Structure 1
């Protein structure tokens, strides 16, 4: 389904559908409990409720110490976890003496409560904005503009109305990083043999697949629109796998969770240059990241100016983090504090000579009207402020992305990096990332397509 059609699909983040689902599940659970007998209400129901509450507390405690997220999950998530446990206990405790239809409802309530957990979890992380996008991801439907790799040769040399996306299997001989297949979007200009094109590396959040920017982040229609307005010319977009699995939070560093940094710099870059004839000029390489990927974008730019010239950090953290500093050193680097310093942007900047040409933009949520006045003329509409309930904010403390971005940008300027910090309404969710990318692409593409022009953000 084309991404533009997603906007007409019911929202899974706000509006009537998430709350209707939860209300119906609660109704089924209440009917499954029913009034029943006095002995059941006195002896068994308290056990059901107590075990449900214990399950919610245990889940909250385990999650708090996991380092998976810094933003606190909404209370409603733990309520539904507790109700799920209570529903499972009810099947056993409420079976004796219950009528067949009440037993059926009790069994049905367990998966329905799990569904409610998923709905609230998705509202929090903002992973699947609409029903159509969720269906497309679940059924592994084709991505926008997607063609089979074998079709590229036949399409080359013929004008194309839009770009085309192709799935690639990038060798990991240099990094040894086990990763999933990745995707490359080629603009119309690539098919007509335009001189080596610039490249933008696209990195998603912690919980991700390489296709998320294309399937959920609306990156393909944004790129198609830019190309259509510029005679078919646009950067090549490379949708990389920085995790290897859906929930492997590498923060794009090399460590016990895999050599993700080496994969991006030593596997991806030479592959794209050789396979697609992309420019090898670092001034024509940029990186865009969202959430964890935003942290990665800054890190790549400050650590590897010989490879990447420009960056857009959308709601990233001050540096790779999965908890406190000590927890991060232990979890990401196996206890190696020197490795932490090598990948910490502020530490890298402090010891780096002035950068020759690097520029970047930080985009963070104002969680309300933008603090920099009205939107620029022609800018896309801001993300829905109601979308998402907070999302995975990375390792930084809740609400710290914006002040951290300002501090990091100020430090970057002292090293000759041109940067700005922009804010826009919206929560930590994919709709926010999508609108931020649409707003930043003209600036980023303009820089990459004119190497040697004065650095400006």
Structure 2
């Protein structure tokens, strides 16, 4: 079939500028994704479990141990069923996680059934075993998703410690007419006047160039959206992307986009998929609360050509959805391992959970449907980055070719080597739909697992391109 000559052809992608000086580094501190600590926790837990079980009586061995094991299996199956029923994760969890859930549940049963008649030290150890098994389970969960790469990052998150180069709004006037060596991160409370969406505090990154001169320059903006289980600080804590952003600014005489790290969920386990519905008006918050606030508070550009959205996993879906639904507000997106569209289970489950049973709302927020209905786009572009599952050797160990091995700076620390059905082929399918309606897009793959470390590497890959697409002022010539 000949091409439709009435649809404008997408413009070519520009040469990335400038190059980065660094890549995400996940070796700062004691690793929670590999190395000695996770395996030590698991070994100690197993030893404690065996000591608590002991040999004891025939009745103990014939009745209470099998019953505890059975309850552990039931607990693991119940947890798995709950996660699937609620659509809490689009990708299947590894078997190791469910084994540790079973161990944790069994540890509780063993402590209860074995309390009577036990010696004092065994009772004490059975009480210690329960939190120890819980920690081992959480470590395995973390190894699946790569949420906390190190003990230090986990501690900083749980204690709400300051983020790198964090300051407050009151300190910004005192930094005017200075040339800081790095950008500053500001925690902000954005009013929910337009959306009514109850959310946590969000963060704005201001590059060094923002502080030069008596008034801030009019800079472009990148809206950053995290994954399904998220906090606004995840890109900084779990993704460790601040050195990458500062590296870009440093290599461009302090000039970089403003970054706003948004709260798309309102709370950690609220999967809104950035739509408006029973779980909250997340889309309205991002478009009607966040965007005007950043423009008015920090003097950012109000032009769609200067705004981009980057997100990973659920956030990747948000990135393309926000852009194709609102080309008058955003002109570029980076979709890192997103789905075909907002997803909370099957299509029927998604319509029920996200839209209160309203199928018309499903169509209103489905990216492919939106793009086809909109028709030709002008000046909109997209970057898709997705995972390519590594091959395994005869022993089942992943092989990354010339890539570093697991737990390297690329962060192949997670166990999630399965793609859910809605993610598979999403990048290629959505890019094809976008190309047909004038959106310039490209698809990139990285041999990795679906973890935060992959997301951070994808951010590093796409940042120079995105900065160019939203017309970030360049102080150095393009790199060919």
Note whether the superposition's TM-score is higher than 0.5: yes
Give the match for residue 378 of structure 1: none
Give the match for residue 395 of structure 2: none
Deviation at 1:402, TM superposition (A): 4.9
Do the aligned residues in 2 keep the contact of 1:6 with 1:132 (CA within 8 Å)? no
Tell me, in whole angstroms, the C-alpha distance in 1 between the residues paired with 2:424 and 2:67. Answer: 46
Give the match for residue 219 of structure 1: 241
**Which 5+ residue runs of structure 2 have no aligned equivalent?**
1-22, 392-400, 474-480
Higher mean displacement: 205-214 or 69-78 = 69-78
Tell me, in whole angstroms, the C-alpha distance in 1 between the residues paired with 2:125 and 2:417. Answer: 33
Deviation at 1:4, TM superposition (A): 7.7
Deviation at 1:135, TM superposition (A): 1.2
Aligned to 1:422, the other structure's residue is in SS state strand
Do the aligned residues in 2 keep the contact of 1:187 with 1:235 (CA within 8 Å)? yes
Deviation at 1:221, TM superposition (A): 1.2
Tell me, in whole angstroms, the C-alpha distance in 2 between the residues paired with 1:374 and 1:18. Answer: 26
Give the match for residue 371 of structure 2: 349
Deviation at 1:164, TM superposition (A): 0.4
Deviation at 1:392, TM superposition (A): 9.7
Query: What is the aligned residue count?
Result: 436
Tell me, in whole angstroms, the C-alpha distance in 1 between the residues paired with 2:447 and 2:54. Answer: 44
Give the match for residue 344 of structure 2: 322
Give the match for residue 411 of structure 1: 433
What is the aligned counterpart of 2:78 among 35, 58, 68?
Answer: 58
Do the aligned residues in 2 keep the contact of 1:250 with 1:332 (CA within 8 Å)? yes
**Which 5+ residue runs of structure 1 have no aligned equivalent?**
376-380, 452-457
Matched, 1:207 2:234: no
Give the match for residue 415 of structure 2: 389
What is the aligned counterpart of 1:189 among 209, 213, 216?
Answer: 209
Deviation at 1:26, TM superposition (A): 1.0
Give the match for residue 333 of structure 1: 355
Aligned to 1:312, the other structure's residue is in SS state strand
Matched, 1:292 2:314: yes
Do the aligned residues in 2 keep the contact of 1:355 with 1:415 (CA within 8 Å)? yes
Deviation at 1:46, TM superposition (A): 2.1
Do the aligned residues in 1 keep the contact of 2:382 with 2:442 (CA within 8 Å)? yes
What is the aligned counterpart of 1:72 among 81, 84, 92?
Answer: 92
Tell me, in whole angstroms, the C-alpha distance in 1 between the residues paired with 2:337 and 2:441. Answer: 15
Tell me, in whole angstroms, the C-alpha distance in 2 between the residues paired with 1:173 and 1:155. Answer: 30
What is the aligned counterpart of 2:273 among 251, 254, 262?
Answer: 251
Deviation at 1:266, TM superposition (A): 0.4
Tell me, in whole angstroms, the C-alpha distance in 2 between the residues paired with 1:201 and 1:144. Answer: 19
Deviation at 1:5, TM superposition (A): 7.9
Deviation at 1:186, TM superposition (A): 0.3
Tell me, in whole angstroms, the C-alpha distance in 1 between the residues paired with 2:409 and 2:287. Answer: 32
Deviation at 1:57, TM superposition (A): 2.0
Give the match for residue 335 of structure 2: 313
Deviation at 1:85, TM superposition (A): 1.6
Tell me, in whole angstroms, the C-alpha distance in 2 between the residues paired with 1:300 and 1:414. Answer: 19
Moved >3 Å (runs of 4+): 3-6
Deviation at 1:63, TM superposition (A): 2.0
Deviation at 1:90, TM superposition (A): 1.2
Residues 150, 6 of structure 1: CA spacing in aligned structure 2 closer, same or farther, 3 A cutoff? farther
Deviation at 1:17, TM superposition (A): 2.2
Aligned to 1:65, the other structure's residue is in SS state helix
Cα displacement string for residues 153-172 of structure 1 (whole angstroms, at most 9, x for unaligned residues): 10012122111010110011
Tell me, in whole angstroms, the C-alpha distance in 2 between the residues paired with 1:67 and 1:195. Answer: 43
Give the match for residue 198 of structure 1: 220
What is the aligned counterpart of 1:90 among 92, 99, 110?
Answer: 110
Q: TM-score, normalised by structure 1?
A: 0.91
Deviation at 1:8, TM superposition (A): 3.1
What is the aligned counterpart of 1:267 among 280, 289, 299?
Answer: 289
Tell me, in whole angstroms, the C-alpha distance in 1 between the residues paired with 2:28 and 2:373. Answer: 50
Q: CA RMSD in A?
A: 2.0
Give the match for residue 154 of structure 1: 174
Comparing both chains, which one has the higher relative contact order based on Cα–Cα distances under 8 Å and sequence gaps of 6 or more?
2
Residues 450, 230 of structure 1: CA spacing in aligned structure 2 closer, same or farther, 3 A cutoff? closer
Do the aligned residues in 1 keep the contact of 2:24 with 2:460 (CA within 8 Å)? no
Give the match for residue 28 of structure 2: 8
Give the match for residue 364 of structure 1: 386
Deviation at 1:334, TM superposition (A): 0.2
Do the aligned residues in 2 keep the contact of 1:366 with 1:423 (CA within 8 Å)? yes
Cα displacement string for residues 310-345 of structure 1 (whole angstroms, at most 9, x for unaligned residues): 110111111000100000000000000000000000
